[in-house]
Amino acid sequence: MKFHFSSFAFFLLWIPSGVFAQQFTWNEEACSAYGLLLDLKFKQADSTLKVLESKEPKNLCVPYLQDVADFLYIVVTEDEKEFERRAKFRDKRIAALETAADNDPFRNIALGEAHLHWAFSNMRIGNYVTGAMSVRKAFQLLEDNTKRFPTFIHSYKAMGLLHTLVGTVPDNYKWAANLMGVDGTIHQGISEMERVIKGTSGRKEFPLVHKETLFLFTFLQINLVNKPEALKELQRHLDRHNGPLIDFAKARVLQRSGKTDAAIGVLELSLKKRPTSFPYLHFLLGEMKLSRMDVDANEPLKAYTILFKGKSYLKSAQQKLAWHSLLVGRDQKGYFEHLARVTTVGNTTIDGDKSAQREADEKKLPNVYLLRSRIMFDGAYYVQAVNTLANAPEGSFPTQDEKLEYNYRLGRIYHEMGEHAKAISRYESTIKQGASSARYFAANASLQLGLLYEKLGEKDKAKKHFQACSSFKNTEYRDSINQKAKAGLLRL
């Protein structure tokens, strides 16, 4: 499962250290509060900040960290009532941060990230225009900081994330980036974030800077950078830290590395310690356990639907509960009952929820062999996935759509198993069969061919297939596929 832009970009934070100026005094209480916030311990952080505010009422760390607290709470919970309540404090806190000395290198970072906090908070609840304008203000402040204080390493985490994300914006959305006045490339952004990771690694004064940058960098690596070998190094860094956000990152890296059993273990331990702090971990655990066809995979999915008060992934959770009923429980009635609930919850902002709604609208049983193979593949259980298709009875894929998906699924499995010749053959068949289909199979086959040829060093073929992605007629996952194709072209 992939996070869309606002689902992983909104976690933009900054963990400072030391004393940069008289007004930003990063003492023990301030650093403690920030660490608590990064671990989503909101009540403890609030208590610590109140003590700090009473002791040092002019310490600008207080309004900055209060803003961070609001931001994290909003994006983790999607609580719109809390958004409305907390938004009232935004202008007052930004005004306070503006009183910092102009020659303080942290001034523009604090202001820029405060604007980013509200940009991504607004985007999280659907206020995209307001969010875009805040991104523009943030970018201008942060860019100015890198020019005025080029050796101040902390500026490059936020700028690196922005440069990378803007560099992957599909061409048909470039107008939005231009409107925000933001530009950048993947190479530029990745280099900046790597600079922060390298510059803070092993330094006792920067443990939280390192931790938070790694969290963000994980999603860039998984979603936008085609370097599987880099995951081992990333895992080594992540193992030095803990907390719910880091556990999330660890699990995703393990899953991408084909170690889903280990990823499940990380999530189970994390949720055992703190079952309610980050509801999305329940969703991720249920998704992974379903890919293993666990009997109890429905339990964490149900927990997510109860604990989460926002709208994202609720349709997807009901869809996966329907799949569990069908594939594990052999219960067609249960499948349709959960599918009926898809329409009653959440929204269709993200691709996973759009897909769930489409399945609910169709109101028909899916091909169980294709579905089982798809879910096992998503969990990196490749041998089980290919065996599911290989052992399907003759005539199990009678329709054109099913034949198309059959070829596509085999291509994806062979690709991940390293059987490149077989993968290329299946991908090419998928493209030939599905070029005019509204389904995403042909477009994603072209993307995967681009990624495969990129890995093999055949740049011309890779470019050809990346460029072709936008020419297909698919309505499913179109923006996501085009963004990744754009990222591939920029890497080349």
Q: Is 102 exposed, middle or buried (0-12, 13-18, 19+ CB in 10 A)?
A: exposed
What's residue 47's pLDDT? Answer: 97
Q: Name the band, by pLDDT with cuts 50, 70 and 90, for residue 378.
A: very high
Write the CB contacts of 85 (distance below 8 Å, at least 6 apart in sequence).
none
What's residue 213's pLDDT? Answer: 87
Domain contains 33: yes
Most confident among 2-11, 143-152, 477-486 (mean pLDDT): 143-152
What's residue 171's pLDDT? Answer: 59
From CA 251, how far away is CA 281, in angstroms rounded? 9
- pLDDT, tens only, 213-272: 888 888 888 877 767 777 888 888 899 899 999 999 999 999 999 999 999 999 999 999
Domain contains 151: yes
- pLDDT, tens only, 411-421: 999 999 999 99
| End residue of a domain, out of 152, 185, 218 | 185
3-state secondary structure of 19: strand
From CA 160, how far away is CA 190, in angstroms rounded? 6
CB atoms within 10 A of CB 181: 12
Question: Which secondary structure element, helix H or strand E, spans residue 23, and what is its range?
Answer: none
The answer to whether the beta carbons of residues 286 and 295 sit under 8 Å apart is: no
From CA 394, how far away is CA 404, in angstroms rounded? 16
Domain contains 93: yes
The answer to whether the beta carbons of residues 454 and 492 sit under 8 Å apart is: yes
The answer to whether the beta carbons of residues 10 and 124 sit under 8 Å apart is: yes
From CA 5, how far away is CA 387, in angstroms rounded? 35
Write the CB contacts of 150 (distance below 8 Å, at least 6 apart in sequence).
none
What's residue 41's pLDDT? Answer: 96
Q: Which residues pair with 19 in a beta bridge?
A: 25
Q: Name the band, by pLDDT with cuts 50, 70 and 90, for residue 13.
A: very low
From CA 193, how far away is CA 155, in angstroms rounded? 10
- pLDDT, tens only, 165-192: 777 665 555 556 665 667 777 788 889 9
Q: Which position has the higher pLDDT, 349 or 353? A: 353
What's residue 411's pLDDT? Answer: 97
Domain contains 348: no
What's residue 170's pLDDT? Answer: 56
Q: Tell me the mean pLDDT in the region 66-81.
A: 90
Average pLDDT, the chain: 89
From CA 32, how far away is CA 53, in angstroms rounded? 14
From CA 244, how far away is CA 221, in angstroms rounded? 19
- Domain CATH number, residue 395: 1.25.40.10
- pLDDT, tens only, 192-201: 998 998 888 8
What's residue 445's pLDDT? Answer: 97
CB atoms within 10 A of CB 27: 14
- pLDDT, tens only, 434-453: 999 999 999 999 999 999 99
What's residue 4's pLDDT? Answer: 45
Q: 481: closest CA among 440, 425, 439, 435?
A: 440
Domain contains 215: no
Domain contains 141: yes
What's residue 261's pLDDT? Answer: 97
What's residue 179's pLDDT? Answer: 58
Domain contains 71: yes
What's residue 427's pLDDT? Answer: 98
CB atoms within 10 A of CB 341: 19
- pLDDT, tens only, 467-479: 999 999 998 888 8
Question: Which secondary structure element, helix H or strand E, spans residue 98, and what is its range?
Answer: none
Phi, psi at 110, each rounded to 5°: -60, -45
| End residue of a domain, out of 185, 205, 232 | 185
| End residue of a domain, out of 132, 152, 185 | 185
Question: Which secondary structure element, helix H or strand E, spans residue 22, and what is its range?
Answer: none
Q: Tell me the mean pLDDT in the region 388-409.
A: 96
Domain contains 109: yes
Statement: residue 22 has pLDDT above 80:
no
* C-alpha separations of 463 from 27, 67, 188, 469 in Å: 51, 43, 20, 10
- pLDDT, tens only, 288-309: 999 999 999 999 999 999 999 8
∠ CA 187-210-202 to the nearest 5 degrees?
110
What's residue 177's pLDDT? Answer: 63
The answer to whether the beta carbons of residues 77 and 310 sit under 8 Å apart is: yes
Q: Tell me the mean pLDDT in the region 340-348.
A: 96
What's residue 168's pLDDT? Answer: 64
Q: Tell me the mean pLDDT in the region 387-408.
A: 96
Instruction: Provide the number of structural domains found in the chain.
Output: 2
Statement: residue 274 has pLDDT above 90:
yes
What's residue 344's pLDDT? Answer: 97
What's residue 8's pLDDT? Answer: 39
What's residue 219's pLDDT? Answer: 80
Statement: residue 135 has pLDDT above 80:
yes
Q: Name the band, by pLDDT with cuts 50, 70 and 90, for residue 15.
A: very low
pTM > 0.95: yes or no? no
Q: Is 140 exposed, middle or buried (0-12, 13-18, 19+ CB in 10 A)?
A: middle
Domain containing 37 equals: 5-185
